[in-house]
Amino acid sequence: MVDKQTAYILWFDQLGIEDVPLVGGKNASLGEMYRELTPKGIRVPNGFAITAYAYRVFIERTGIRQKIVEILTGLDTRNVKDLAERGRKIRQLFYDAQMPEDLREAIAQAYRDLSNAYHMEEADVAVRSSATAEDLPDASFAGQQETYLNIVGLPALLEAVRKAFASLFTNRAISYRQDKGFDHFKVALSVGVQKMVRSDKGSSGVMFTLDTETGFRNVILINAAYGLGENVVQGAVNPDQYYVFKPTLREGYRPIIQKKLGEKEYTMVYAHDGNKPTKNIPTPEEKRKQYALTDEDILTLARWGMLIEEHYSRKAGHEKPMDIEWAKDGLTGELFIVQARPETVMSRRDPNEYVEYILKEKGRELVRGMAVGSKIGIGRVHVIRDVHHMSEFQPGEVLVTDITDPDWEPIMKMASAIITNRGGRTSHAAIVSRELGIPAIVGTGNATEVLKNGMDVTVDCSSGEQGIVYEGRLEYEEKHVRLDQLPETKTEVKLIIGTPEKAFHYSFLPVKGVGLAREEFIINSYIKVHPLALIHYADLPGDLQREIDEITRPYADKTQFYIDKLAEGIGMIAAAFYPRPVIVRTSDFKSNEYAGLLGGTLFEPHEENPMIGWRGASRYYHPRFKDAFLLEVEAFKKVRNEFGLTNVHVMIPFTRTPEEGRRVVDLMESHGLRRGDKGLRFYVMAEIPSNVLLADEYAKTFDGFSIGSNDLTQLTFGLDRDSELVSHVADERHPAARRMMELMIKAAKKAGREIGICGQAPSDFPEIAAFLVEQGIDSISVNPDRVIKTIQLVAEKERELAERNE
């Protein structure tokens, strides 16, 4: 029996979570997974850990420990130059020291045994360091210690082990421990030695079992790129991004609710020139245009991610989201998990503390990229292209650089915001900025060229997936609300939403679902091409085909691109609020708006007044547009049948007559989208006087109504709200507009149909919300920034009505 406390080497199959003090969290989790999760189908490469006891023996016998004490005496981590010099001296002690003979022989024997197990003379291994205080629930930092890939031969392995030991005293690790109050010698280092997965010929990346931007728990987030995984971890490439919805994945569905193609500019491969074990080569253009993972790979990884999360949650006795690294062997096609640790930033977020940052003005846009977090930061630009110039950085400045790695930590914590040219949501800059609570924009491509030293800028991450850097110091507002202190209401308050990227953030709002999800933003931002241009792609001019090819890569089938991207946009919103109902309005572009899509002018008529022209239901069954509408039907079917998001319901806009409504419903049902199937409900917008006057007829076809107060008001007054000459007449507070809403509510109630409102009126005018409650409306849908006030207003009005009726 091995005495673990005094062992130099412990094999993964000997390790469990209880061994964290001996081998650190990463190595313990590798052992735990190898021992307990490989029987469940998860693949983990075999290997061994050089223990924290071995590390302590090394620093004691070589005399390094006392020298470290002397070097660190009087350290001030804010003095970046002094920190760097002390760190360099300590690391040199490790590089120069001789490995104690008994430790050297123990490592050599373990390496021989591992090589023999894989029938190799000298196995290629990954050397991963794991500190015994790393990734604690209240103290985590990305990549404090080092990883070395494609290490071959005993001399190279021993050198990598010494470097790994030394990495306990990198500048950022010294600074981090000092700032957190950890004793440098109560933290030890273990080294994991693991058989390499040949992802240099395949792909690799990172997986989180929650959304890293919001803390939303019901998704798996996967980032993927070609080659070895360090490019994704370090943010050296912009990877593919995939989201998978956990609840319906458990039920056997295939809910890949988002797939975003990354640039994947470089591929990290084995180097054979003898200088370095790995190198980056440009990724061929054709590969960059393809996803790095198949759908089956994505779903397999997501299932493994759930198994890993469930395993460690049981061990911990509470939910424990995980941060996981994976690799795909390009020789065998097999997937492997190579590392797992607790996620320690968003998992600690209080879901009842709702914070919103609102930019009050807009300036000139300078650059944009991927937003990390939802905050807004203001400061003076400082472009630093090289880590050796870090000492020039001043507290409160905006750090602008090509890419960060852990060496940048001492100045990252001083920044008001961070902007990088390269990297994705799981890059070093993104992970550290979340840890520090600093807004960051990554993957801008050209920030170091566009932004100049000394410029005052506002870094806005509050508007969704895209972060924008504006010129100047712009005014913004920060709102804090305790959601668990809001009152309950009988009248349901729901959300109006159009941007899928904000859905996870808004999911924490105490709404009863989504009363209006708009397709228009998804089509404008995700798809950008007129649906008929995709259907008739083969007949288009060559230059237009090339533009469409650029947008639709990697799709050969252009109509499938439309279906998939529309389904993904709807799916992101539906997943955020699952199982709460999400009512999605089918596309309600006017002809001039459709013409603005790529290729749209070839298929759209010119109308003098498109506001009351060819829009809504009249389009859907028309021979000139029916095929385009059927792509929407296919997207709804994918969301409900493939993703399993049966909380999605369909709403038809601008339905001029009951006969039009029936034609559209018949068309949808004839193509497999059937009312009542798995609870599917069809709604109709009540936005034309005919909807109000013939509500009893519409009720025969539809399950409910939603008042569109914007159009209902303009059509009640017979005006075009886009005309500045008469738009002032349209006012939802006018008795005529209120009477129309009152009649609609009464008619729906009489017909036994659900009735809500999704127009702008309750968001803009609190008195309209109060009026609707008084009329007995079932639900009120408002914009996200009005949810809190509307809930409070509705509760107050309901109390008032209850007191009046006593």
- 345 pLDDT exceeds 90? no
What span, in angstroms and rounded, lies between the C-alpha atoms of 676 and 669?
10
pLDDT of res. 1? 59
Among residues 311, 382, 428, 649, the one annotated as catalytic is 428
What span, in angstroms and rounded, lies between the C-alpha atoms of 161 and 156?
9
Nearest to 611 by CA among 727, 737, 499: 727
- 132 pLDDT exceeds 90? no
CA distances from 522 to 519, 567, 584 (A): 5, 9, 12
What span, in angstroms and rounded, lies between the C-alpha atoms of 325 and 233?
9
pLDDT of res. 704? 98
CA distances from 5 to 22, 51, 494 (A): 7, 9, 58
Which runs of E-coded beta strand occur in 199-352? Answer: 203-208, 219-226, 240-245, 256-260, 266-270, 278-282, 322-328, 335-342
What 8-state DSSP symbol labels residue 619? H
737 near 716, Cβ under 8 Å? Answer: yes
Confidence category of residue 134, pLDDT binned at 50, 70, 90: very low
pLDDT of res. 135? 44
Least confidently predicted of 295-299, 498-502, 578-582, 685-689: 498-502
What span, in angstroms and rounded, lies between the C-alpha atoms of 643 and 637?
9
508 near 351, Cβ under 8 Å? Answer: yes
**Is 758 tagged catalytic?**
yes
Secondary-structure breakdown of the chain: helix, strand, coil percentages, each rounded to the nearest 5: 45, 20, 35
3-state secondary structure 10-65: EEHHHCCHHHHHHHHHHHHHHHHHHHHCHHHCCCCCCEEEECHHHHHHHHHHCCHH
- Per-residue pLDDT reduced to its tens digit, 351-371: 888 888 999 998 999 999 999
| Residue type at 404 in one-letter notation | T
What span, in angstroms and rounded, lies between the C-alpha atoms of 224 and 184?
35
What angle, rounded to 10 degrees, do the helices at 52-61 and 101-117 form?
150
Higher-confidence position of 723 and 66:
66
Give the count of alpha carbons within 13 A of 291, CB side only: 16
pLDDT of res. 133? 63
State the average pLDDT over residues 4-32.
89
3-state secondary structure 76-133: CCCCHHHHHHHHHHHHHHHHHCCCCHHHHHHHHHHHHHHHHHCCCCCCEEEEEEEECC
State the average pLDDT over residues 310-317.
93
Q: For the whole model, what pTM was predicted?
A: 0.89
Neighbours of 787 (CB within 10 A): 24
- Per-residue pLDDT reduced to its tens digit, 189-246: 899 999 999 999 999 999 999 999 999 999 999 999 999 999 998 888 999 999 999 9
- 342 pLDDT exceeds 50? yes
Percent of the chain with pLDDT over 90: 75
What span, in angstroms and rounded, lies between the C-alpha atoms of 380 and 455?
5
Least confidently predicted of 53-57, 67-71, 137-141, 338-342: 137-141
Nearest to 269 by CA among 225, 228, 330: 228
- Per-residue pLDDT reduced to its tens digit, 370-391: 999 889 999 999 999 988 898 8
Q: Residue 757: phi, psi to the nearest 5?
A: -135, 140
**Mean pLDDT, the chain, whole residue set:** 92
- Per-residue pLDDT reduced to its tens digit, 512-549: 999 999 999 999 999 999 999 999 999 999 999 999 99
What span, in angstroms and rounded, lies between the C-alpha atoms of 123 and 45?
12
Q: Which of 168-182, 414-428, 745-759 has the highest mean pLDDT?
A: 745-759
Among residues 382, 461, 649, 758, the one annotated as catalytic is 758
pLDDT of res. 373? 86
End-to-end CA distance of the chain: 78
What span, in angstroms and rounded, lies between the C-alpha atoms of 254 and 244?
8
Neighbours of 700 (CB within 10 A): 11
What 8-state DSSP symbol labels residue 529? B
What span, in angstroms and rounded, lies between the C-alpha atoms of 560 and 534?
9
698 near 665, Cβ under 8 Å? Answer: no
Sign for the CA dihedral angle at 498, 502, 504, 507 comes to negative
**Is 461 tagged catalytic?**
no
CA distances from 62 to 55, 317, 426, 603, 718 (A): 11, 42, 38, 79, 90
Give the count of alpha carbons within 13 A of 57, CB side only: 20
Q: What does the angle CA 385 – CA 390 – CA 394 come to, to the nearest 5 degrees?
A: 110
Alpha helix stretches (DSSP H) within 181-294:
230-234, 246-250, 285-288
* Token pair listed for 385: 């292209």
429 near 237, Cβ under 8 Å? Answer: no
790 near 762, Cβ under 8 Å? Answer: yes
Q: What does the angle CA 516 – CA 522 – CA 527 come to, to the nearest 5 degrees?
A: 155
State the average pLDDT over residues 333-344.
92
Q: Are strands 417-420 and 704-707 parallel, antiparallel or unpaired?
A: unpaired
State the average pLDDT over residues 40-49.
94
pLDDT of res. 87? 92
State the average pLDDT over residues 257-263.
96
pLDDT of res. 166? 93
- Per-residue pLDDT reduced to its tens digit, 759-801: 778 877 888 989 999 999 999 999 888 899 899 999 999 999 9
Least confidently predicted of 138-142, 616-620, 677-681, 752-756: 138-142
Bond preceding residue 395 cis, omega within 30 of 0: no
Confidence category of residue 80, pLDDT binned at 50, 70, 90: confident
Distance of CA 242 to the CA centre of its chain: 8
- Per-residue pLDDT reduced to its tens digit, 136-180: 444 444 445 578 999 999 999 999 999 999 988 988 788 878 877
Percent of the chain with pLDDT over 70: 98
Nearest to 353 by CA among 521, 485, 263, 264: 485
